[in-house]
Each structure stands twice: as C-alpha cells, then as structure tokens.
Homo-oligomer: A and B are copies of this chain.
Amino acid sequence: MIELYNHELSGNCYKVRLMLSLLGLEHELVPVDLIKGEQKAAEFLKLNPLGQVPVLTDGEVVIRDAQAILVYLGRRYGGEDWLPVESESMSKVVQWLTVAANEIQHSLATARLYFLFNAQINLELAQQKAHQILQILNEHLAMRSWLECERPTIADVACFPYVGLGADGKISLEAYPHVVTWCERIKQLPGYIGMPGLLVVTSARRQWLTE
C-alpha cells in the first residue's frame, strides 16, 4: 500500500495527493504534525533526513521531495503519459520541476507561509519574485494549454498548487489571464481534487496557534 506522510496545509503534500488522485491510486495518509515538530523527530528523519514532508513509501521504496515523488509516481504508474522518457521532452518537464522547487517555492509558497504560519520571511521580496515567475508563466502559457508536451504532465502538477493557492499569500492572479485559464484547465482533469476546507482548517489552526 502507498503511504503518504502528509500535512493537510502543505502545498507540497497537496501536490502529491493531487497526483495520486489523477492516477487513481489508492493510498493512506499518515499525518505529520508540523506544529509539534514531528518532521524533526528521530523516527521521521530516518525517512527523510531533510526533515520535510511529503515522504512517500510504496512497499520498500521510500521517496522524499514532492518533485521526486511526482517522478516516481509518473514513471511507476503513469507509463509515459505524465513523464516522457525521450531526452528533450523529459528535460523540458524537468525545467519546471526546478521552477517548482526553487522559483515558486521561494516566492508564492514562502508568502503563503508568512500569512498562514507567521513565518519570519522577507514578504516584499517573496511577493516580488512571485510576480516575476507569474509573468513568465503567463507568457509561456499564452501560446500553450499545458506547460510542456501539449498535454498534462508532472510539470503542471508540480507548478500548479502554490500558484493556485496564490491568494493565501495575498498574491492576485488577476494580471495573469493565461495562468488563470491554465489553473481552470487543471481543475477540469479527471480525478482532480482541490484542497478542501482550507479556510476552515486554517482559521481553526490559526486560532489554535494563538491560544
């Protein structure tokens, strides 16, 4: 059975939940309480020495890092649909895995951390970087329905979550119509799931945090 070490509010965990759902794969969620610091506990560090969710286990296989997990699920269960193995197509897809792990992580995801968890970050810089990458995404998507390969791939699944959750970091997508259309297109995919109850969970969690 596939198990996902998961936190409900993590966009990187959502990324994997979305991929699992798009592939129609049964799995179990193992909650990791980030507030209590369970991701830094000795038991968890054996799974991921970086002390981060998500981690996915599939029998004896243990994979950390949302992008690497998308590669695993795509290759293992998706044939070549979600991750082509031909050199040019694969590397074009990987370009966007880096954007997800670096540019989007240090802009949209970071701004979201500020508002959801009061993380000590440079909000202005994060928002400035967010608009830079959104502009690039918008121009790229002006002539395309999907990021690469003219079909949905793990590139879209890697980049979509924190873009779609932009509002959590007070980043409006209003100026990026092609990005908005792309988000809507992803939401129409068979098996799509959102992040249900985010606002409810968030306000409960914020209340809990300030108690």
Contact = CB atoms under 8 A, between A and B. Distances in A.
Interface of A: 49-50, 61, 63-65, 67-69, 71-72, 75-76, 85-88, 90-92, 94-95, 97-99, 101-103, 105-106, 136, 139-140
Contacts of A95: 63-65, 68
As for how many copies of this chain the complex holds, the number is 2
Contact of A68 (B75, B76, B98): B98
A180 B69 CA distance: 29
Contact of A105 (B61, B99, B102): B102
A91 B72 contact: yes
Contact of A94 (B91, B97, B140): B97
A131 to B, nearest CB: 14
Contacts of A140: 49
A105 B91 CA distance: 19
Contacts of A49: 136, 139-140
Contacts of A105: 102
B91 A87 contact: no
A91 B63 contact: yes
A76 B67 contact: no
27 contacts: A49-B139, A49-B140, A50-B99, A50-B103, A63-B88, A63-B92, A65-B98, A65-B99, A67-B94, A68-B91, A68-B94, A68-B95, A68-B97, A69-B91, A71-B87, A72-B87, A72-B88, A72-B90, A75-B91, A76-B87, A76-B88, A85-B85, A94-B97, A97-B98, A98-B98, A102-B105, A106-B106
